[in-house]
Chains A and B, each alone.
Chain A
Amino acid sequence: MNDKDNGFVVFSGVQKSYDGKILVVKDLNLSIAKGEFLTMLGPSGSGKTTCLLMLAGFETATQGEILLDGKPINNIPPHKREIGMVFQNYALFPHMTVAENLTFPLQVRSMSKSDQEKKVNHVLDMVQMSEFGNRRPGQLSGGQQQRIALARALVFEPELVLMDEPLGALDKQLREHMQFEIKHLHERLGVTVVYVTHDQTEALTMSDRVAVFNDGIIQQLDAPDKLYEAPDNSFVAQFIGENNTLEGTIESFEGDYVNVRLDNDQVISALAVNVREVGEKTLISIRPERVETEAERCPENAQKIIGEVLEFIYMGDVFRTRIRVGNNDEFIVKSRNSPSQQRLQPGQMVTLGCLNKDCRALDHQITSKEVLS
C-alpha cells in the first residue's frame, strides 16, 4: 500500500509464524484510515484473528512493522497501546460488577473518582444499560453482556477499537440488532474500528471496507458493494454471498470481455477480470439474482444459457430454482415472488438470461465447501 504515511493503522510487510514452518500471515500490507470501520473477514484459520492479536499486542509479528498513528508499536506492550478490545467471549470479569468492570480501565489510569463515575454513567447510558451497574456479568443475558463489553472497550476513549467476533455467541435476531447498534456507535463516536468476523453478512452490513482473508493473504480489500458485485477472484466470489460458478475454457478476448466455452459446448461472454490467455481454464461467477428464467423479463442484450430445472423451492419472498447447467447441478436462480413470476417444474428445460457484465471470468480455483462454511 502506498498510503503508509496517512494511514492511522498500518501493517507493513507483516508476517507471522507460530511454529517457524507455516506462515499464518503472509506479507500483510494494510492501511486503515482514521475513523474507518474495517472488517477482516475470512474462514477460520485464514489469519484474520492473528492479525488482530498482533495489532492488540498479544502476538508479535515475526517480520514486518505495525504502525499506529505513525509510530511503530511492535515493541510496545499491550497495556500501553491504548487500544480498546472486545473479545469473542466478552471477557467481562466475573468477580466484578458491571460498574466495576467499567471502572477498571479508569482506575488503572488513576483517574479521579468523580471522573470515573461520570464516564461510567455516560458509557452505560450510551449502551442503554444504566440500571445494570450493580449486576454481575453472570446475571446478564448475552446481549447485555455484549453491550457491557462494548462499553468497557469504549469507556477510556481509545481511538482504535478492536472487535474479535463479538457477536458470534448471540442468536440471529439479536446479532442483527447489535450490528446496527455497533454501526451507529461507530458513526457517533468516530472511532476507528477493526472488526474480525467470519460472517459475511455482518461484514457487509457494518463495514466501510472489508478485507477478505484466506490462507494468510488479503484476497480483496474493498467496500462491501464492490466485494459483492465485483469480486476480484473466485475465492471472494464464492465466499461473499451466494454465487454460481460455471467452469469453462477461454476461447477469445473481445475488449474487456472474453468468450468462454462451457463444458456443455455453449459459448458465453463474460467480463475478463482475472484471466490472462486463451485456452486458460476459468470459473465464471454469476450471482443468482442476476439471472432471469423468463425471456420477457430479460434485458434486451442478455445472453442465453440452457439448463434443466432440478428443484423448485418456495421461500416466501423469493423462489429458489436449482438448475443443471453443464456439469453444475447447483446453479441457483433467485427470483422475486411477484404475481407474474412463473413457478418452474423439475425436469423442465429452461433458457436462462443474464447480462454479460454480470458474468465475471475469474481464476480457476475451486474453494471447498468446508472453507466457505
Chain B
Amino acid sequence: MVNVDSLVGRNSLHRKVQRSLRIQKLRALGLIAPLFIFILISFVIPIGDMLFRSIENQLVSEVLPRTTEYLKSEQINEGWEPPDELFWHLYIDLAIATEVKLHTRVGSRLNYEKTGISSLFRKTGRSIKKFGADDYSKALSEQMPELASIDYWELLSQGTSEKYGYTRDTYNTWKKNLIANDHWSEKTKPSDFLFVVLANDIKSQEIDSSLDASREEKLLPVISELPEIGFKERFLDTDEDWAEPDVWDTIQLYSPSFTNGYYLNSVDFKKGSDGPKIRPENERLYVLIFSRTLFMSVTITLVCLLLGYPVAYFLANLPLKYANLFLILVLLPFWTSLLVRTSAWKVLLQNEGVINDILVATGLISNLERLELINNQTGTIIAMSHILLPFMILPLFSVMKTIHPSYVRAAKSLGATPWTAFRRVYFPQSIPGIGAGSILVFILSIGYYITPELVGGTTGTFISNRIAYHISSSLNWGLGAALGSILLAVVLALYWVYDRMVGIDNVKLG
C-alpha cells in the first residue's frame, strides 16, 4: 500500500508532526506561564535572595576597605595592641563613610556580632571632623588657593605619578562614594581629610627636583609647620573601646565578603579567630527555640491526630448527606479570620477569662489558683491545635471514606473482635490519611507565626517569631535569613525521613 508519494513525503510529515507538537508544547507553556512568572518573581527570587543574604557580608569590606586590608595580616589576641598605622587607615575609611553616613550601617552590622560597636561608630563618626584636618585644609589652601577647587583635585587624580598614589586612590574612593550616594555636584568642595592625605604623601617622599616640584616646594614648608595629627590618640580620646582587641577582632572576622557567622549565631555558636565556639550558657537562645518549635509542633500534631481521628472516623461512616453537613461544621472555622479566632482564645484562656471563671465558679479550682492557660506553651498548643485541626480531619476523612465497610465486616466474619478488626484492618488502611494530615499540620505549625505571637508569651513562641523579630525589628536580615534557611532545611530533612519511613506515595490528600 506504500506509494512513492508517501515515501517522498515522509520527511515533511515528520516535520509537520514536530511542528504540531511544538505548538502544543508552546500552548501548554503559555497556560502555565502566568503562574510560573508569578511564582518566580514573588517566591523563588525572594527565597534565593534570602538564602544569599544568610551568607552575604560585603558591607564591612566595602565601607572599610583599607582597614580590613590592613587587618588581614594582623594576629589579634589578648595582648595585641592596634598599631598607629591601622588608625590612619581607619581614619580615611571612616572619613569617607561618614560623609555618606555609611559608618552607621557598618556599625549596626558589626553590632549584631558585638554589642557596643554601633554606638562606637556613631560617636566616632560625629567627632572625626574634629581630628584637626580642618587646620590642614586651611593652611594648604592659603598657601595654594587652587587646592580649594575640586578641579585641581580632578587633575591630580588623573596624574600618573606614583608619589600621589595614595591621595589619588583616596580621592577616587571618596568621589565614587559621593556619586553613588547622590552627594556629588558641581559645587562639591574637597573634604578636609583629603588635605591630610595629600600632606602625608608629600611629607613621606624625597623631593625630586627633576619633576615639577613647585607643588611640593610650596607646600612642604607649611606642612612641616603643621602639627602632626596623632590618629591613635584622637580615636582613643573619642572612645577608648578602640583599644580593645575584641573590637578589632570582630572587624577582622567579618571582613570577608561571605561569612558563616549568621549560621553559627543561629545555632548558638560564636565565630572566633580560633574557630567557632559555643556561646556561654546565658547567651544561648536559638537551639532552645528550635527545639521548642519542634517539640510544640510535634505536640500540636499529636493533639490534632488524637482529636481529629475519631471525628474523621465518625464523618466517614455517616451517610453522605449528614457527612457533608458535619464537614461544613469542621470547615466553619475557615470562614472566620485567623486573627479573630486567636483573639477569641485570648478571651477564653486568660487568667480572668471564661474558662478560668467557669472553673472557679464550679469550685473545681479556687480563685487563687487560676490556671495559667495563655501567654505560655499551653496557650499556643491549645489555640494552634484548634486552628490546625481541619487540616488533620480533611485528609483523614478523605482516606477513611475510601475504606470500604466490607473490610471491617470481612475481618469480623473471620473471627476478629471489633477492636482487633479496627487495629489490624481499619487502622493500617487509614495510615495514609494519618501521614498526610500529620505532615500537613506539622509543616504548617513549624512555621506558624501569628498565633504564637498573640498567645505564646515568651515561652510559647516559635522560631518564626524570632525570624520576624530579626526581619522587622532588629533588622538583622542576615540572621533572620540564616534562621529561616535552617528551618527550611529541618523541614526538608523531616520530609525526607518521613518519605523513607512512610513513603510519600502513601500520602493521600484527597
Which residues on the B side are within 8 Å of A57 (C-beta)? 412-413
Contact string, A100-119, partner B, CB cutoff 8 A, digits 1/0? 00001100110000000000
From B411, B413, B417, B420, A84 is in contact (CB under 8 Å) with B413
Which residues on the A side are within 8 Å of B412 (C-beta)? 57-58, 77-79
From B406, B420, B424, B428, A91 is in contact (CB under 8 Å) with B406
Contact string, B471-495, partner A, CB cutoff 8 A, digits 1/0? 0000000000000000000000000
Min Cβ gap B420→A in Å is 6
Q: Tell which of B412, B425, B428 has the most Cβ of chain A within 10 Å.
A: B412
Contact call B410/A91, Cβ cutoff below 8 A? yes
Compute how far the CA of A80 lies from the CA of B421 in the bound complex, rounded to whole angstroms: 13
Q: How large is the interface on A (under 10, 10 to 19, 20 to 34, 35 or more residues)?
A: 20 to 34
Contact call B429/A78, Cβ cutoff below 8 A? no
Contact string, B408-446, partner A, CB cutoff 8 A, digits 1/0? 011111111110110011001100000000000000000
Min Cβ gap A303→B in Å is 52
Compute how far the CA of A339 lies from the CA of B415 in the bound complex, rounded to whole angstroms: 60
Min Cβ gap A343→B in Å is 39
Q: Tell which of A78, A82, A92, A153 has the most Cβ of chain B within 10 Å.
A: A78
Contact string, A48-92, partner B, CB cutoff 8 A, digits 1/0? 000000001110000000000000000001111111110111011
Known: A79-B418, A108-B420. A93 touches B425 (CB 8 A): yes
Min Cβ gap A310→B in Å is 44
Known: A78-B409, A104-B424, A108-B420. A95 touches B429 (CB 8 A): yes
Q: Say yes or no: is A156 at the interface (Cβ < 8 Å to chain B).
A: yes
Contact call A85/B413, Cβ cutoff below 8 A? yes
- Number of B residues whose C-beta is below 8 Å from A? 19
Min Cβ gap A59→B in Å is 11
Which residues on the B side are within 8 Å of A88 (C-beta)? 406
Min Cβ gap A44→B in Å is 17
Contact call B404/A89, Cβ cutoff below 8 A? yes
Compute how far the CA of A58 lies from the CA of B418 in the bound complex, rounded to whole angstroms: 12
Min Cβ gap A204→B in Å is 27
Compute how far the CA of A78 lies from the CA of B429 in the bound complex, rounded to whole angstroms: 21
Compute how far the CA of A84 lies from the CA of B412 in the bound complex, rounded to whole angstroms: 10
Which residues on the A side are within 8 Å of B404 (C-beta)? 89, 91
Contact call B425/A87, Cβ cutoff below 8 A? no
Contact call A56/B413, Cβ cutoff below 8 A? yes
From A77, A89, A108, B414 is in contact (CB under 8 Å) with A108
The secondary-structure label for the interface of chain A is loop
Known: A93-B425, A94-B429, A95-B428. A87 touches B416 (CB 8 A): no
Contact call A87/B417, Cβ cutoff below 8 A? no
Contact call A82/B407, Cβ cutoff below 8 A? no
Q: Say yes or no: is A16 at the interface (Cβ < 8 Å to chain B).
A: no
Contact string, B158-199, partner A, CB cutoff 8 A, digits 1/0? 000000000000000000000000000000000000000000
Contact call B406/A108, Cβ cutoff below 8 A? no
Q: Tell which of B415, B424, B425 has the most Cβ of chain A within 10 Å.
A: B415
From A81, A91, A105, B409 is in contact (CB under 8 Å) with A91
Compute how far the CA of A92 lies from the CA of B420 in the bound complex, rounded to whole angstroms: 16
Q: Tell which of A77, A79, A80, A88 has the most Cβ of chain B within 10 Å.
A: A79
From A82, A94, A95, A162, B415 is in contact (CB under 8 Å) with A82
Contact call A56/B418, Cβ cutoff below 8 A? no
Compute how far the CA of A318 lies from the CA of B40 in the bound complex, rounded to whole angstroms: 71
Q: Say yes or no: is A147 at the interface (Cβ < 8 Å to chain B).
A: no
Which residues on the B side are within 8 Å of A104 (C-beta)? 411, 414, 416, 424
Contact call B414/A105, Cβ cutoff below 8 A? yes
Tally A-B pairs: CB < 8 A. 69
Min Cβ gap B427→A in Å is 10
Q: Which residue on chain A has the smallest CB distance to residue B413?
A: A85
Contact string, B48-80, partner A, CB cutoff 8 A, digits 1/0? 000000000000000000000000000000000
Q: Which residue on chain B has the smallest CB distance to residue A92?
A: B410
Contact call A105/B406, Cβ cutoff below 8 A? no
Contact string, B81-117, partner A, CB cutoff 8 A, digits 1/0? 0000000000000000000000000000000000000
From A80, A82, A85, A95, B410 is in contact (CB under 8 Å) with A85
Compute how far the CA of A156 lies from the CA of B415 in the bound complex, rounded to whole angstroms: 9
Q: Say yes or no: is A152 at the interface (Cβ < 8 Å to chain B).
A: yes
Contact call A156/B413, Cβ cutoff below 8 A? no
Which residues on the B side are within 8 Å of A109 (C-beta)? 415
Contact call B415/A105, Cβ cutoff below 8 A? yes
Which residues on the A side are within 8 Å of B425 (C-beta)? 93
Compute how far the CA of A79 lies from the CA of B424 in the bound complex, rounded to whole angstroms: 14
Q: Which residue on chain A has the smallest CB distance to residue B404?
A: A89
Q: Which residue on chain B has the smallest CB distance to residue A102?
A: B414
Min Cβ gap B319→A in Å is 11
Q: Tell which of A85, A91, A109, A152 has the most Cβ of chain B within 10 Å.
A: A91
Min Cβ gap B26→A in Å is 39
Known: A95-B428, A95-B429. A87 touches B410 (CB 8 A): yes
Compute how far the CA of A85 lies from the CA of B413 in the bound complex, rounded to whole angstroms: 6
Q: Which residue on chain A has the smallest CB distance to residue B416?
A: A108
Which residues on the B side are within 8 Å of A91 (C-beta)? 404, 406-407, 409-410
Min Cβ gap A148→B in Å is 12
Compute how far the CA of A152 lies from the CA of B406 in the bound complex, rounded to whole angstroms: 14
Contact call B415/A79, Cβ cutoff below 8 A? yes
* CB proximity to A under 8 Å, residues B346-400: none
Compute how far the CA of A93 lies from the CA of B423 in the bound complex, rounded to whole angstroms: 13
Min Cβ gap A113→B in Å is 17
Known: A93-B425, A94-B429, A95-B429. A79 touches B417 (CB 8 A): yes
Q: Which residue on chain B has the smallest CB distance to residue A83?
A: B413
Q: Tell which of B414, B420, B429 has the most Cβ of chain A within 10 Å.
A: B414
Min Cβ gap A87→B in Å is 5
Which residues on the B side are within 8 Å of A83 (C-beta)? 413
Which residues on the B side are within 8 Å of A78 (C-beta)? 409, 412-413
Which residues on the A side are within 8 Å of B413 (C-beta)? 56-57, 78-79, 81, 83-85, 153, 162
Q: Tell which of A57, A82, A104 has the most Cβ of chain B within 10 Å.
A: A104
Min Cβ gap B503→A in Å is 12
Contact call A156/B414, Cβ cutoff below 8 A? yes
Which residues on the B side are within 8 Å of A56 (C-beta)? 409, 413
Q: Which residue on chain B has the smallest CB distance to residue A164?
A: B406
Known: A91-B404, A93-B425, A94-B429. A108 touches B410 (CB 8 A): no
Min Cβ gap A180→B in Å is 25
Compute how far the CA of A81 lies from the CA of B415 in the bound complex, rounded to whole angstroms: 8
Which residues on the B side are within 8 Å of A162 (C-beta)? 413
Compute how far the CA of A56 lies from the CA of B408 in the bound complex, rounded to whole angstroms: 13
Min Cβ gap B294→A in Å is 30
Which residues on the A side are within 8 Å of B417 (C-beta)? 79, 108
Which residues on the B side are within 8 Å of A84 (C-beta)? 413-414
Q: Which residue on chain B has the smallest CB distance to residue A162?
A: B413
Q: A: which residues have CB within 8 A of B?
A: 56-58, 77-85, 87-89, 91-95, 104-105, 108-109, 152-153, 156, 162
Interchain residue pairs A-B with the least CB separation, the first 8:
A105-B414, A91-B410, A85-B413, A91-B406, A78-B412, A95-B428, A79-B412, A87-B406
Can you report 16 A-B residue pairs in the complex whose CB atoms are below 8 A from each other? A57-B413, A77-B418, A79-B413, A79-B414, A79-B416, A79-B417, A79-B418, A84-B414, A85-B410, A89-B406, A91-B407, A93-B410, A105-B415, A152-B410, A152-B414, A153-B413
Task: Beyond the given A91-B410, A104-B424, please list 17 additional residue pairs across the A-B interface where CB-CB is below 8 A.
Answer: A56-B413, A57-B413, A58-B412, A79-B412, A79-B416, A79-B418, A79-B421, A81-B413, A82-B415, A84-B413, A84-B414, A85-B413, A87-B406, A92-B410, A95-B429, A152-B414, A156-B415
